[in-house]
Structure 1
Amino acid sequence: MSSILPLSRRIPRIARRSTLPLSQRWSTSISQRPGSDRVRFPGAVNSKFTTEMSFINPQDMPSIPTYRVLDSDGVLVDKDRKPLGVSNEEILVWYKNMLTVSIMDIIMFEAQRQGRLSFYIVSAGEEGISIGSAAALTPDDVVFAQYRETGVFQQRGFTLKNFMSQLFANKNDNGYGRNMPVHYGCDYPRTHTISSTLATQIPHASGAAYALKLQSLQNPDTPRRIVACYFGEGAASEGDFHAGLNIASTRSCPVVFLCRNNGYAISTPTLEQYRGDGIASRGIGYGIDTIRVDGNDIFAVYEAMAAARALALSDGGKPVLIEAMSYRVSHHSTSDDSFAYRARVEVEDWKRRDNPIIRLRKYLENQGLWNEDLERSAREGIRAEILREFGAAEREKKPEIRMAFEGVYDEVTDEARGQMGELKRILETYPEEYDLRAFERGIEGL
């Protein structure tokens, strides 16, 4: 019946189903009160008319503030603020998780230099961002990470055996040895496998969040959950960043985008990446609720993510952007020498001046929860456990060769079967050229 009504009568019925504020609904542009002092065009919502022609200069606008809870000495900045709402036991877990990531990074970086590992990426200086944000998520929340989110996996229960199995691509690897090191992933907690291709996870995250929104509409009794998408400020220079944020904004997707702005996109400093006010200003441009936080302050990151998660689930779903400010203390990866493009004194200055581990340790010491003896004992225990899993994973066999062909489709295709047959023929023809003893199963599995 509604299809034969005049357009002017049908539009309001559509508008009433919208979850956007009235001032942002496109239907308001259909008519405009004579003498109105504001624009009612779809592309400029509620904009006042003016007779003064002036261009907006970004430098004349106030900079976006950076939220923090702890100062660099581990002291609460606002003495009158409410309690943190986190138990001392939980904070100690965060600290030990940061130590674990830091110690594992050192060991695995050296292992790559010894030729025992092909590749590795450390997250020195950014441990507070990954662990603090992950602490505010539930296991059912869906994570799309980049490749410096080791702390996210650590906080969400990824074991040292899981880490080492993936790094050495042995038979216990969730990905069956198909991916390069530090490309972790797991079914539960729900974490999509990391991709090397920069920023591709951002539109994927928006799509997954839209799927979650549709699921909740179809079945309101299902637990509400969000998507958390991690990336660096360098990835924000890719087109996928803009596409992903615009999709999430226009479709009101329950996704929290967390940008680690660590100062460098491989060898390119932020001053050469963009001229605007960081990445946070872009979220505002896309109509997304946005906050900038001190990435060296694990409490600020945790509180921002907890609040962002609640926002993302409000009003039927909406995207949120967090820009976490930090400094990449380490090289970009084992394939990089950062001292070729930045001064060593700059890095050493950041190490001494501020980092998330030192800041949280100072807080714990100020509260009487930590001391030098506990620090020494924790580091020795963590290092021993990492080395134990390192040795076990390095000795473990590789997945059976057949796994190189499985898992792409539900069933192995005829084309893949032909490739398996050809590989088997080559291995049988030239057995002296291929040592298959390192594999769980060799030719017999083909």
Structure 2
Amino acid sequence: MSCFLYFKDKSRKWKRRSAPELKKQEKSKLNAFERVTKSSGSSSSPRGIPELYEEKAHNLRVFSYDELRQATNDFSRVFKIGEGGFGSVYKGSIKPVIANADPVSVAIKRLNQNGLQGHKQWLAEVQFLGVVEHQNLVKLIGYCSVDGERGIQRLLVYEYMSNKSLESHLFNKAYDPLPWKTRLEIALGAAQGLAYLHEESEVQVIYRDFKCSNILLDENFRPKLSDFGLAREGPEVGRTHVSTAVMGTNGYAAPDYIQTGHLTTKSDVWSFGVVLYELLTGRRSLERSRPKTEQKLLEWVKQYPAETKRFVLIMDPRLEGQYSIHGARKLAKLADHCLSRSAKERPLMSQVVGILKQIIQISDDEKSAEESTVISDDDLTKTEEKSTQSAPSELWRKRMDHLAKLGEHVESASRRRFMILQRGKVP
């Protein structure tokens, strides 16, 4: 899905130079074109993204255009793995800095010269990903900035994520359905990435474009947030929000942000709540092909509250009932909390992380209890088959002992879940 507001690209002609040089040369002419990376500062650091980037820019590799052209066989369609508002993404292979080392697979994003997004997003992504670093954020390896006979060339080189995006696995029927446990782990990893940006990074970052297509998955299905072209620094000390043009994706942007242009970390929390319901239902936030009453996901799920028996009707049928009903109900309640109309009532992402860990534990406990019951019943059946000559009273005693043990196990699991739920109540 496309962004619902764009800007006009005002790229100028530069010779090939590094991103820091681009920033320095324009410092005296700071205008709306550069302000995406020079926002009103951060509540957690006196230094902004540009200042921190100057310090860390040496970690990024500067590629020549020819290097990346060769890495993708002249940007062959055979190597194309994705396309968005920014441009096309290709799989490529580059030579590592270390001599005699094996080539490294990478994802190369190339700016579409005729596209509606341009240099401003490219520069934002270089600078933000040049500063932030977390296991649940995609790693930027380097970039290319060249103006020549081929026109303006802006490219980004990322680590390659072999399992594509959450969007692909959740909505594309060509992929196997994601198991319940995997969905929870993806939600947890994505939440940890947002919590780092909001609360742990030296400079607070508002992601502003959280959605399934921007959650990439590595070979182990570990999620990493990508595409920082719309990211902004958090508000300066003493301010409650950043005032900005409304940008994002239909179906994911918080209503308070759309109405006022006031951007906060709670805008990301709303978007996270939308994705939680997508994980539960296997439906997109907006689907025009469905009946009118089901086109908008958030309006549809309101008819099936988590505490009712009807709730199971919204669960993704591709799960085939293989999920924890208690965990699913709790996940829906967490989503509802994230989707509070009042931004102040939405939880912090660190709180969301804590609750997701508890939901995973609840689901694991339920699965363990079910497996224990099945195994114990099988063992008891085998015992009865071997003991056909035993007295009926002995068989009866064995079954009563077995049922008593199962009762103790279930009661113990219930107590653990109750304690987890009590600890997990969001303030």
Q: Which has the higher contact order (CA 8 A, sep 6+)?
A: 1
TM-score by length of 1: 0.21
TM-score by length of 2: 0.21
